[in-house]
Every structure is written in C-alpha cells, then in structure tokens.
Amino acid sequence: MSDPLNGSRPAAALAGDGRIHAHVTGWGRYVPSQVLTNADLERMVDTNDEWIVSRTGIRERRVAAANETTASMGAVAALRAIRAAGIDPDEIDLILLATLTPDYWMPSTAALVKEAIGNTRAAAMDVAAACSGFVYGFATAQAWIASGLAQHVLVIGAELLTRFLDYTDRSTCILFGDGAGAAVLSASTEPGGGLGIELTTEPQGAYMIWLPAGGAKSPPSAETIARGEHFIRMEGKETYRFATRTLASTALESIRKSGLQPDDISLFIPHQANIRIIEAVAKGLNLPMDRMFVNLDRYGNTSAASVPIAMAEAVNEGRIKVGDRITIVAFGAGFTSGAVTIEWTADPARGRDADTAIRADDVHVRLPVDWDSVDPIPPALAELMARPSEVNPPLDDVVPGEPEPASQPLAR
C-alpha cells in the first residue's frame, strides 16, 4: 500500500491496523507588515507602555492594510501550509476556517479562501468558537480523517480584529491584533499525529466576551452604531480568572486522554491572550515557563489565529522536533476551551522553505463586481498608517479601482 502522506486516495482505504491517524504535515502563518506599538496607542488613548506590558505582556501588534481581509490573510497562511505539506492545493478534501471576524456573514470566508488557493474539490466551512476556533477546527479535522472521510484537511485560524475595536476603550483596544495561521492534517497508518482531544463550552460566560450587535438578535442600525454596539466588549477580570483555570484543566485532560503526563510534553502552545494567564497556567501544571511558547509580545491576542501562528513559529524556530509531543490549548468567548495533544512527525525545515516560496502579494481573493466597500480602516488607524515609515512601497495599484458592471446590457 502506498504512503498516504504522499497523496494516495481514498482515506477510507487506509485500513492497515484498523486505525487512521491524523498527522500535521504542513503549517504556515501570515501577519501584516504594519506594526502598532504601545507608544502608538499612547497617542490614541489614555494608557502607557509600562502599564500594558506589566499587565498583558504585549508590546506591539499587527494591523491589516486596507486591501487585506480575513480571507486574504488566511489564504496566504493556507498556501504556506500546503507548500510545507508537499501537496497540491486540489488534494485538500476539507477546509475549516476558524474566525470571529469573517469577511461577510455569507458566503463563508472558507469559501473565499478555497477559490483563492486554487482548490476545486474541497468542502469548505467556517468554525465559530472565538479564540478556541482553531483548536475546535483541528479536532474536527482529526475526526474527519480518523473516520476515513478525508485524506487531507486544511485548518485555518484568521482574524482581522482591529476593525472591531473601540479606540477610546483602553481595556480592549490594547489587546488585539490581526493575522492568520494554518495547518494541514493528513491521513496515515503510521502512529503519531493528533492524540487526545478535549473540548468544552460553558454558556454561563456567554456575555463575558461578546459583540452585542450585528446578528439576528440586534441587526445593524443607526441606533446600534451610535451606541457602539459593533465593538468587542469584555469583562476582563472574570474572563481572565475563568480562562486560567480552564486552560490548565483542558490541557491536562487532553494529555490524560493521550495516556501521558505533563512532564511528557515538550512544549505547550497556549492561546496568546495575556502573559499573566500563561504564567499562571505554567504554575498550575508545575512546569517552567520555558515549556510554554510565547509570542504575544509581538502580536497581541489574534483570537483564532493565535495558536496556529504560535505553532508555526515554534516549529520554524526549532522549538519543535520530530518525535516531540506538544499540546495546543485555547480559551475563548462562549466560554469555549479546547486542547489537542500532538506527536510531531514532520520535518521542521519544510515550514521555513514554504514561508520563502509563498509571497503575500501573489495571493488574491476575488471581490464582488457589483458592490464597492467603504474604507474599513478606523480613523485612528488611518492616521497612524498615513505617517512616514522606513519602508514606503508604492500604493497606487494596491486598492482595487471601480468595479465592472455585474452584467452587460442586452444588444438590441
């Protein structure tokens, strides 16, 4: 029987010992070039660098450009993951895109990414579990593969949160940033890959982190806009306390279901929300901080993109090697939480090669031809992005021009 990691089909034929394993074969990430530092925020809202760093660990975050969207960032990360996996985009059977900031309520952002990466055959859908979304998507992909329904599944976490922030609210605007990460899971009869899964939802915390308006309960209106109900709201103290306990317990349960102990885990990749939460989780698991991967100082909280960005960076930086066992764990609105323990089997060098091979400028998401968007950049960020910088690429051709008519008039 040929090796399923080299693209054999169908997955259901991979009987072997009766078990199909879901291996991570590709990973990738994308973050915008625009950096928003704590010093920048000091000029926008009543805060300061020392306060932000001491309470969150965040020093800067990334902000998407006017021509970037959740779909476009997700597509870049996806193509890098597919390149690292060594397969063709059309070999992907299922695309799962986790986000709380979709390009549109419909169609799904996953559908837009499918077209952008050149896939013609996959099913594609969005996953709505807030910051836990990528882990929920990973668990779903693992189940599809284990059941024989798919050979290769693409899981993406992508967020454009800076367009949903109130830049007069210093409790939220300092926390979030934009970006995307992705992973390819592939079927194999070889041991390894995804192991124990633990997912939870506690709806009693549903309104601790939420976006009040824009859905069916409170559709957009002049009144909801005037009341600022399209910005993220959060009860920080209660959320952080619950997050700390839940991250630790969810990670432990995933490890237990894998037949392992915390000491067996080479690296934990937690949701990058707050350094105090990560430090508390490490203490709760009786582990040193060097077993926790941290990059929130550079990106802030990127919600569903947080874990896949961190995982891709950890691999590319040499923190994860073949044979290592890692645990990804996240907590988000809902309240949701999720953890998956993974035995790593892929060559880490493939991710670095993919980052070089896939250029963001070469990836495009098709726009509608009969509708022209308003500028989505908040005024405070527009002013910042207009300032001179060390790199000033020409922008004349970046933003699409006037759309063509949806249809041509009939000839008479």
Q: Which of 21, 23, 152, 271 is catalytic?
A: 271
173 is catalytic: no
301 is catalytic: yes
| Structure letter (DSSP) for residue 75 | H
Six token digits for residue 300: 């802030």
Name the region of 251 (left: φ>0; alpha: ψ -120 to 50; beta: rest): alpha
Six token digits for residue 54: 């001491």
Six token digits for residue 250: 């969810």
Calpha distance 309→158 (Å, rounded): 9
Q: Which residues contact 61 (CB under 8 A, 6 or more apart)?
A: 35, 36, 162, 176, 177, 178, 298, 299, 300, 302
Give the largest CA-CA distance in the chain.
79
Give the Å distances, CA to CA, from 356 to 20, 76, 77, 350, 359.
32, 12, 12, 10, 7
| Structure letter (DSSP) for residue 266 | S
Q: Which of 119, 274, 301, 316 is catalytic?
A: 301
DSSP-based three-state secondary structure for 214: coil
Q: Which of 131, 173, 274, 316 is catalytic?
A: 131
Calpha distance 296→274 (Å, rounded): 7
End-to-end Cα, the chain, rounded Å: 62
Catalytic site residues? 131, 271, 301
